[in-house]
């Protein structure tokens, strides 16, 4: 592929992509090293500010994590060498699930329920994204077509 290029996504496009997904990765620093966990999430709020809500087990690494966090979603098409990524940087806060309508509005519907009763929200201070566009193929026919 020749001439592949990156496009910066608008805030509106990043928001649309965040609304369209339910699984992402949250990154925090633990003992001076970054750790990343896949999580179910829900984007909450009709307008700014919006939060990313998630649930975890009380006392685990995420529940004890420091305030600074990054959250990321993406999609890749390796066959066409295209994809997109949205990065949210913000602060991680514990939330009170007993607040009025909190569970209905914030529940990310985790795939594993067990004892995930610690509710967290990421309050964004930066939301950015980019899309990788594939260039034109160097050859009209790809060598893999003959294998």
pLDDT tens digits along 31-58:
999 999 999 898 887 677 789 988 888 8
Residue for token pair 């610690």: 118
User: All domains of the chain, ordered by start, with CATH?
Assistant: 5-146 (2.30.110.10)
Range 70-82 average pLDDT: 91
Decide: 8 and 128 in contact? Cβ < 8 Å: yes
Least confident piece of the model among 17-26, 30-39, 40-49, 93-102: 93-102
pLDDT in the model for residue 35? 96
Question: Exposed/middle/buried for 83, CB within 10 Å: 0-12, 13-18, 19+?
Answer: middle
Q: Is the pLDDT of residue 147 over 70?
A: no
Range 106-118 average pLDDT: 64
Half-sphere exposure of residue 134: CA atoms within 13 angstroms, side-chain side: 12
CA–CA separation, 102 and 39 (whole Å): 19
């Amino acid at each position: 592929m020749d001439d592949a290029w990156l496009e910066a996504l608008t805030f509106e496009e990043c928001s649309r992509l965040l609304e369209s997904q339910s699984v992402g990765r949250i990154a925090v620093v633990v003992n001076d090293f970054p750790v990343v966990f896949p999580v179910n999430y829900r984007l909450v709020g009709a307008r700014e500010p919006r939060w990313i809500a998630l649930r975890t087990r009380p006392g685990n690494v995420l529940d004890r994590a420091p305030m600074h966090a990054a959250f990321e979603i993406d999609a890749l098409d390796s066959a066409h060498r295209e994809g997109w990524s949205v990065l949210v940087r913000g602060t991680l806060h514990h939330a009170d699930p007993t607040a009025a309508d909190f569970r209905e509005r914030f529940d990310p519907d985790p795939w594993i329920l067990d004892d995930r009763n610690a509710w967290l929200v990421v309050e964004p201070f930066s939301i950015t994204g980019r899309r990788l566009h594939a260039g034109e193929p160097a050859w009209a026919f790809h060598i893999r077509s003959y294998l």
